[in-house]
């Protein structure tokens, strides 16, 4: 119940943040998120900057250049507001995900939880397959493979990877059936 309440409070905050436009309030809110993160503040701040930094910087620079060219001035209030809102909400999202147990939060929707679990498991498997493939390519090439070699390698291995992933999926299906995940008829 506590985890579900956390998620609801987080969603209410995210929705409500759209109605706050004062950069000082947004800066204070981002500061509160980092304080709540405690020892993880540095890691969460770094991840938030990495996640949105490139996108926000691209739009910010484009808007600043556009304003300078059209009006000879830069809308600093917009820049502060947008950057702080993007950073604060992303940091809050990463903090909530780190603190909330997804299994408990999604417990009322077992079908959805099952799908999320399967997707998560497949992501792990896919990550492992790709890592195996990357190491295989590295062991077969003298120097660091250039983009063309890596692309050819990926293209030739794509179908094989897909086949292996589907084979793993069938194994998972058998394991889930053996553990009673489905009540098969007949």
Partner 1 sequence: MHVPDGFLGPQTYVSATVVGAGLWSVGIARVRRQLDAVALPRVGVLTALAFVLMMISIPIPGGSTVHFGGVALLALTFGGWTAFVCISLVLLMQAGLFGVGGITSVPVAALLIGFVGAWTAVAVHRLLRGLGDRVALFGAGWFSVVVPAALMAVVLGLQPAVAAGSDGRPLFFPFGLDVTLTAVIVPHLLVGVGEGLLTVMMIEALRRIGVEPVPAGGRA
- Which residue lies nearer to partner 1 by CB, 26 or 142? 26
Q: Does 73 engage in binding with partner 1 (CB under 8 A)? A: no
Q: Does 147 engage in binding with partner 1 (CB under 8 A)? A: no
Q: Does 85 engage in binding with partner 1 (CB under 8 A)? A: yes
Among 72, 159, 179, 186, binds partner 1 (CB under 8 A): 159
Q: Which residue in the block uniquely carries the two structure tokens 């929707």?
A: 109
Among 39, 108, 147, 184, binds partner 1 (CB under 8 A): 184
Nearest Cα neighbor of 157 from 141, 133, 128, 131 is: 133
Q: Give the residue ranges of DSSP H helices in 72-146.
A: 76-99, 102-105, 110-140
Q: Which residue in the block uniquely carries the two structure tokens 């985890």?
A: 3
- Which residue lies nearer to partner 1 by CB, 37 or 143? 37
Q: Does 71 engage in binding with partner 1 (CB under 8 A)? A: no
Q: Does 68 engage in binding with partner 1 (CB under 8 A)? A: no
Q: Does 135 engage in binding with partner 1 (CB under 8 A)? A: no
Query: How many chain residues bind partner 1 (CB under 8 A)?
Result: 66
Whether 18 contacts 11, CB under 8 Å: no
Neighbours of 92 (CB within 10 A): 23
Instruction: Supply the DSSP string of 117-134, one letter for each residue.
Output: HHHHHHHHHHHHHHHHHH
Output the CA–CA distances (angstroms, integers) from residue 160 to 39, 128, 129, 155, in the order listed.
43, 14, 10, 10
* Interface positions with partner 1 (CB under 8 A): 11, 14-15, 17-19, 21, 47-48, 50-52, 54-56, 58-59, 61-63, 66, 75, 77-78, 81-83, 85-86, 89-90, 93-94, 96-97, 109, 111-112, 114-116, 118-123, 125-126, 130, 158-159, 162-163, 165-166, 168-170, 172-173, 176-177, 181-182, 184
């Amino acid at each position: 119940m506590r985890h579900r309440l956390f998620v609801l409070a987080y969603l209410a905050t995210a929705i409500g943040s759209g109605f706050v436009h004062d950069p000082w309030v947004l800066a204070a809110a981002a500061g509160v998120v980092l304080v709540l993160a405690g020892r993880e503040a540095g890691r969460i701040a770094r991840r938030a900057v990495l996640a949105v930094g490139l996108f926000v910087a691209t739009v910010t620079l484009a808007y600043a250049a556009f304003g300078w060219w059209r009006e000879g001035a830069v809308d600093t209030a917009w820049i502060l507001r947008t950057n702080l809102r993007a950073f604060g909400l992303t940091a809050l999202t990463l903090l909530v995900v780190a603190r909330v147990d997804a299994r408990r939060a999604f417990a009322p929707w077992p079908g959805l939880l099952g799908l999320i679990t399967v997707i998560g498991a497949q992501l792990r498997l896919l990550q492992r397959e790709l890592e195996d493939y990357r190491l295989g390519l590295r062991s077969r090439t003298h120097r660091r493979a250039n983009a063309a070699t890596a692309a050819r390698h990926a293209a030739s291995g794509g179908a094989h990877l897909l086949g292996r992933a589907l084979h793993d999926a069938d194994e998972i299906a058998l394991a889930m059936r053996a553990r009673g995940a489905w009540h098969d008829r007949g």
